[in-house]
Amino acid sequence: MEGYSNATRISDVEKQCARLKGLDTSKGDGKDKQHRFERVIAFTGDFLISDESKDDVLDRLKSFIDNKQRENPAIKAQSIELELS
């Protein structure tokens, strides 16, 4: 991805994305996105991403999705997608 080094912490990627998109994470939609991201990180942990860790990233995201579905079997894909966006 443009603007990212080969090995970066996921929390740093979120900060870079917010900066590049011009999101104000102190209010409104930017704050909501920040809180959703923090909930995902609380579950997956803040980890190092790199070309070598792509499978680990996918496994952590799948685990997050599986957990959401266990917590609420009626949850819709759209709700999980919003949580991850």
- pLDDT band with cut points at 50, 70 and 90 for residue 54: confident
Rounded to whole angstroms, what are the CA distances from 11 to 44, 47, 69? 11, 8, 24
- pLDDT band with cut points at 50, 70 and 90 for residue 50: confident
Q: What pLDDT does residue 7 have?
A: 65
- Mean pLDDT, the chain, rounded, equals 83
Higher pLDDT: 84 or 73? It is 73
pLDDT tens by residue, 18-34? 888 888 988 898 889 88
Rounded to whole angstroms, what are the CA distances from 7 to 17, 63, 71, 82? 16, 22, 32, 26
